[in-house]
Chain A
Amino acid sequence: MPLRAPLLFSALIVASCGLVYELVAGTLASYLLGDSVTQFSTIIGAYLFSMGVGSWLSRYIRTALLENFVRLEIVLGLVGGCSAAILFLLFGEVTQFRVALYGLVGLIGVLVGLEIPLLLRILQDEYGLADLVARVFAADYVGALIASLLFPLLLVPQLGLIRTAFVFGLLNVAVAWLLLARPRPMARAGIHRLSAALAMIALAAGFAYGDRLMALSEQTQYPGQALFAKWTPYQRIVVTRAADDIRLFLNGNLQFSSRDEYRYHEALVHPIMSTVQAPHRVLVLGGGDGLAVREILKYPSVDSVTLVDLDPEVTSLFARTPFLAALNQSSLRSSKVHVINADAFVWLQGIHERFDAVIVDFPDPSNYSIGKLFSLTFYRRLNAVLSDDGWAVIQSTSPYVARKAFWCVEHTVQAAGLIPAAYHVFVPSFGEWGFVLAGHRPFEPPAHLPADLRYLTPDVMRDMFAFPPDMDRVPTDINRLDNQVLVRYFETEWAHYLAE
């Protein structure tokens, strides 16, 4: 009799703990692996499946049910409580991170799956079956409700993910403590009390130092030392340095490494710029780091460069910070350069000028918003602002990793009435990278390039237009605003690549 109330209370607590661990894992996966639609789904699926495994395994626990339940709570409290901290610290390694993520989700799921069957069996003599199931599951679902309300409204905003997990780990261990406190003979109660106490101390320490862990984990996500980190209304900007290598990350995605960015930017800019006879007016969409503009300014005929980038924090960072301005040779402060902080598509809809060259250097199409910047509608508009002899070039993700996505860009450009030519370059920090250039006539690689390039020569350039079989053209749909096939290709292909 005296055990009933604490055990039912336990059902309520363990249900809320179990749900919180699942929410923590799902939220972390979407934070750290990006805004992928699949994160929550796969986490919930893996978790529920593991709970099923746990429930099934519970049949093998035949004796000492209460004692085993106490042990279970201590172990679960430790694992679940530390889960968020472990995942944050492991984030630097993407492959390891996924192993750790699903390993932890599986382990916690199995442990949580054991709980309710054990509880039911412990209480089976106290109630009739109907009453027992009703009470335990009612407590279980109420616990889930409490957790699901507290998690988004109170816990994440107030405590953050790491400390939320520690709090619920403590609650799990507290359940063990509560049961141990009942005056009922239990084998090895002393040892259990000691383990519970140690677990609680460990979790409390984790809770107390949770903030520092958070700061530490941001460091470990990036190579070298984070020199600059800021949330803007648009994104998370992080600049790091390791030895002579300066890197820019936006929302955790590498934008360039100063060791090899010249390969990317020379390949991006010079094929079209050297094709246009005396380019005067140049438009850059995206590319707020000023590195593409640096290459454009190597053409003396250029009178004006219009740079349209969404985030004023990025453009001002690269205009004003000495070590970053040194990278772009102060291109953003040139009198020829006009920086416009605007939404590129909206801006493009409103202009009537035309340009001799347009450099389109947007982030990869990883969500529906960015996907619009790779749509048929966008390229039609691009076509309209291109002068009769003008050329445009588009950053088009990796033809090796995301082959369909890459050729989808090429096909969409063609559907917009332009004549495309696809090419690729190897950038060590990115891997094999692709571009699509386009104009109003077939492209002939130019015979001459500016003198002081580090990578590109006319011979190297000609080779870039040849695609080996593993990156060669594949059939794709056209990316339209109403189907956004590119985002789906991109997600599938990159997820597949990262999972390998």
Chain B
Amino acid sequence: MLNRRQMLQRTAAGLAAGALTGCHTDTAAMIPGRMVDSGMDLGHRLRGSALRGTALPTPDERRRARVVVAGGGIAGLAACHALHCAGVRDVLLIDALAQAGGNSSFGENAVSAYPWGAHYVPLVRADCLPVLELFEELKIIVDRDSNGRPVYDELFLSADPQERLWIYGRWEAGLLPELGSSLEDRAQFARFSAETERLKTVRGDDGKPLFAIPIDDSSADPQWRALDRLRFTDYLHSQGYTSARLHWYVNYCCRDDYGSLASEVSAWAGLHYFCARTGIAANADPGTVVTWPEGNGYLARALLQRASPTLQLRSLVTRIARAGAGVEVDYFDAATARSVRVTADRAVVCLPRFVAAHVVEAGPGLLTPTAVDFSYAPWMVANLTLSQMPGGPGQALAWDNVIYDSELLGYVVATHQSLAQRQRDTVITYYWPLTEHDPATSRTLAAKRPLSEWQNTVAADLLRVHPELRGRIENMDVRVWGHAMIRPTPGFIWGDARRDALQQQPPVFFAHSDMSGISIFEEAYCRGRHAGQLAASALA
């Protein structure tokens, strides 16, 4: 006869085996899907050409453009838009991928459009004029009320319920855990929330807000900037925040916005997330955000349509150099496998710093940027087509659905803004910042990981809380962004490396959200718009 230990072991082993084999073989074998290109292969040819001598072909074709914009993320698109508004035509936009948009690119299938990265913008701060103007131009802000507060198009405001959290086998409204939180936990939630609310209104000794968007509008008060040299977790401990649940929440927010752990980012950056979003609307509560089925792809598409630059996609910028009063930009076109040299009056470099460092050629009046101290977080994004809406006990399906203590960030529902009464199919987007190792190691491991392993991880996380979705995952595409976002590590935002990176070098102008130290739409847009305007005025 079995003794109880054997029995328990067998039961546990049997359950584990059943759970693992059941779900893993199921999912891996049965879910169709593909790895979506995020430019890593093409990008590595750039590194390869320098390191391993697998040289890209030398340019044997020439063309001309008034302005070249290198890099078609939000910064690049904003630059094109600003150039277009300034009356500059003949703008050539070069991007490595098949679709412009960078982190704001998107996909679409028979069920819905869906994001491949950034998927919302918070209500815009009253002092963030460039983005306010853009949102008015795009009719996202449709009016102002008698107090001057913006009225947003309600179809773009994240519909209720906005967020829910899975904890102890059921869904709760909001992201702060309720069930099982002690009085001490709750007291610390309340204190943290009150403190961050207070800091939203505090101004530094120069009269500027402590935490602004764009980030460079923040106060230079040294007392507060000193927080940039502190790790966020050290700051929290120094303020007496000990609740494991509060730390979970704060860490979740850092992973979500910075792709990094709370212990890896600066206290200034951590607080910026909680204290800089002061936007209000006449017709929405302050925590509401602006979103679309395709996420910020909506904004990327709108900018592209308005700016209508000449597009050179699937092309790798290989060299940017001064040539007389103007510039020369070489690119390798993956479609034709040929290199082309563009002569232009101006160039706007909207590439991340670590790429710019490879392609900008030093010469008279032009320094090669350095990417030292610039650290980037790798991410995985998966889009799952489901033939059944996710359900679950407790709070009804929300836009953002988070699982407590999961390594993954949870999922966003692309059809959440739909007005239809009954939906049976949907697309959900799963996000996973790869924080287990240092970014370089995570990146290397991620590059080797096959589709089936990504699918297994995501499916296991989903089916753990949604057993009803077993067999309902119709498709799962996966995308790995090797350098998804800049990491605001301690000392970076107010340090020398970023300050040096802000130097413009006419006729070459630089714009990218990594120059801000945080990767958000507003930063990329403001930098791109500013660089585009500088380039346009330099032409005039």
Contacts and interface: CB of A to CB of B under 8 A. Distances in A.
A349 interface: yes
Contact of A346 (B157, B395, B419): B419
A4 B470 CA distance: 39
Contacts of B448: none
A367 B419 contact: no
A233 B420 CA distance: 14
Interface string B140-162: 00000000000000110111111
A367 B421 CA distance: 10
Contacts of B420: 343, 345-346
Contact of B283 (A30, A35, A142, A480): A480
Interface in A460-500: 480-484
Interface bin, chain A:
35 or more
Contacts of A376: 154, 283
Dominant SS among interface residues on chain B: loop
B285 A233 contact: no
Interface string B377-414: 00000000000000001111000000000000000000
Contact of A369 (B1, B8, B283, B422): B422
26 contacts: A4-B4, A5-B1, A8-B4, A8-B7, A9-B7, A26-B393, A35-B396, A40-B170, A40-B394, A142-B8, A149-B15, A153-B467, A310-B421, A346-B420, A370-B421, A372-B419, A372-B421, A377-B154, A481-B155, A481-B160, A482-B284, A482-B285, A483-B160, A483-B284, A483-B285, A484-B160
A360 B181 CA distance: 44
Contacts of B435: none
Contacts of B418: 346
B244 to A, nearest CB: 21
A150 to B, nearest CB: 10
A180 B181 CA distance: 43
Contacts of B157: 480-482
Given A149-B15, A481-B157, A5 B422 contact: no
B421 A345 contact: yes
A152 B12 contact: no
B419 A233 contact: no
The 4 A-B residue pairs whose C-beta atoms are closest, nearest first, are A484-B160, A345-B419, A482-B157, A8-B4
Contacts of A26: 393
Contact of B8 (A139, A148, A343): A139
A368 B160 contact: yes
B161 A484 contact: yes
A9 B4 contact: yes
A346 B415 CA distance: 13
A228 interface: no
B3 interface: yes
A344 interface: yes
Nearest to A44: B170
B422 A145 contact: no
A369 B415 CA distance: 12
A462 to B, nearest CB: 36
A230 B393 CA distance: 25
Contacts of B195: none
A37 B422 contact: no
Nearest to A43: B393
A167 B58 CA distance: 76
Given A5-B7, A345-B420, 6 more contacts: A8-B7, A37-B394, A40-B393, A152-B467, A481-B154, A482-B157
A49 to B, nearest CB: 14
Interface bin, chain B:
35 or more
Given A148-B169, A482-B288, A349 B19 contact: no
A152 B468 contact: yes
A314 to B, nearest CB: 13
A145 B420 CA distance: 37
Contacts of A375: 154
Nearest to A363: B421
A31 interface: no
A480 B281 CA distance: 13
B374 to A, nearest CB: 37
Contacts of B1: 5
Contacts of B162: 482
**Of listed A5, A37, A139, A346, residue having the most chain B CB within 10 A:** A37
A194 B121 CA distance: 69
Interface in A315-353: 343-346, 349
A367 B395 CA distance: 11
Interface in A126-167: 135, 138-139, 142, 145-146, 148-149, 152-153
Nearest to A5: B4
A95 interface: no
Contacts of B394: 37, 40-41
Contacts of A9: 4, 7
B63 interface: no
Nearest to A343: B420
A149 B19 contact: yes
B4 A349 contact: no
A377 B156 CA distance: 11
A303 to B, nearest CB: 29
B1 to A, nearest CB: 7
A30 B155 CA distance: 30
A411 to B, nearest CB: 14
A234 B12 contact: no
Contact of A37 (B3, B8, B396): B396
Given A310-B421, A377-B155, A481-B155, A142 B12 contact: yes
A117 B396 CA distance: 36
Contacts of A272: none
Contacts of A139: 4, 8
Contacts of B422: 233-234, 310, 343, 369
B106 to A, nearest CB: 21
Nearest to B287: A482
B329 to A, nearest CB: 44
A251 B470 CA distance: 26
**Of listed B169, B422, B470, residue having the most chain A CB within 10 A:** B422
A368 B178 CA distance: 22
A175 interface: no
B178 to A, nearest CB: 10
B201 to A, nearest CB: 24
A149 B169 CA distance: 12
Contacts of A149: 15, 19, 467
A233 B12 contact: no
Contacts of A481: 154-155, 157, 159-160
Nearest to B162: A482
Contacts of A44: 170
Contact of B160 (A4, A5, A482): A482
A36 to B, nearest CB: 10
A142 B4 contact: no
A153 B285 CA distance: 40
Contacts of A369: 421-422
A368 B159 CA distance: 9
Contact of B424 (A30, A233, A372): A233
Nearest to B14: A146
A137 to B, nearest CB: 11
A78 B420 CA distance: 45
B25 interface: no
A37 B395 contact: yes
A351 to B, nearest CB: 14
Contacts of B54: none
Contacts of A344: 421
Interface in B193-238: none
B11 interface: yes
A449 to B, nearest CB: 33
A71 B251 CA distance: 50
Nearest to A369: B421
A428 B158 CA distance: 40
A41 B179 CA distance: 10
Contacts of B8: 8, 12, 138-139, 142
A5 B159 CA distance: 54
A271 B8 CA distance: 71
